[in-house]
A = this chain, B = another copy of it.
Amino acid sequence: MTTTPETEQDMMPVREATDWWSTGISRIRPGEILLRGYPVEQLIGEMSFTGMIWLMIRGELPTRAQERLLEAALVAAVDHGPQAPSIAAARMAATCGIGLNSAVATGVNLLGDVHGGAGQQCMEVLGQLDEEASAAGGDIDEAAARLVAEYRAAKLRVPGFGHRFHPRDPRRDPLLDLVGKAVENGEVPGRALRAGIALERALSERRGRPVPMNIDGATAIVYSELGFPPELGRGLFVLSRSVGIVSHAWEERFGGTRIKGPLPRPLLASYDGHAPREFTPKEPEERA
């Protein structure tokens, strides 16, 4: 039945296929589940969920200080209400007859470069600023002012600062306080915190009013201090915001609406397109 030619590929060692799916994260054999080398049965009941997130992503156990900081950042970003498109889309999805998993996937999928990527981008900026300051002899404020000026010249917003909604994001202070204490205790290096504070100062001076860090900026500092690469900033945000997404999708399940759109029933989306017109199908020869 099979018509693939039975030539080279039948000669290949099967290892090709199993190595193609090789991983260093988990070893699964009959009766055995190792996660980063640890038997899962030893972790259950002993590891915190946050510690598990660290272990799975980083490959080693966190220190208590690392776990505490990571936990604070994960807690801070769980939700920002149904006005966020990720939450709204998940709520609509929950009324369309798909499983809770698919409603969550809908929300998570929307945490893209613009909606979910600001933290990641801020981590990149923090790293860049730290490097530039070092290269230029160490004056972080001077380097921050330069970076802000460059962004302004390019008409770009520095990611992680200011909020279209909150004059001062209530999540900024507790997160930065925790990082500050960890720096004092020598638990994290403090370079990202220094860079973030310098940027906040430079931005505020430039604009002549406070431009406080938002949640993206504050968590970017936490994740940078903990040594995560920028792209994982988004990965961690996804894990955090998934909690809000599950909660909202679940709440909507009982909202009594089927096929919930963005507007309540009597309201109609307005139309600004072409005026009504007649369609006159042409004879095939005329359409040529």
Contact = CB atoms under 8 A, between A and B. Distances in A.
A145 interface: no
Copies in the complex: 4
A27 B3 CA distance: 9
Contacts of A275: 3, 37
A46 B283 CA distance: 10
A40 B114 contact: no
A173 B116 CA distance: 39
Nearest to A259: B115
A46 to B, nearest CB: 4
Contact of A262 (B21, B98, B247, B271): B21
A16 B2 CA distance: 12
A78 to B, nearest CB: 6
A36 B44 CA distance: 29
A41 interface: yes
Interface in A9-51: 9-50
Interface stretch (A83-91, A123-131, A132-140): A83-91
Interface in A48-85: 48-50, 52-53, 56-57, 59, 63-65, 67-68, 71-72, 74-76, 78-85
Contact of A83 (B81, B99, B262): B262
A26 B243 contact: no
Contact of A57 (B31, B52, B247, B262): B247
Contacts of A153: none
Interface residues of A, number: 153
Contacts of A53: 49, 243
Given A109-B105, A113-B97, A246-B57, A81 B30 contact: no
A117 B102 CA distance: 12
A17 to B, nearest CB: 4
Contact of A37 (B86, B117, B235, B276): B276
Nearest to A288: B64
A20 to B, nearest CB: 4
Contacts of A175: 44-45
Most B Cβ at <10 Å: residue of A31, A67, A240, A278: A31
A186 interface: no
A263 interface: yes
Given A24-B272, A44-B171, 15 more contacts: A1-B272, A2-B270, A20-B263, A22-B272, A38-B278, A44-B178, A49-B49, A52-B243, A53-B243, A57-B250, A89-B92, A97-B112, A100-B231, A102-B112, A262-B262
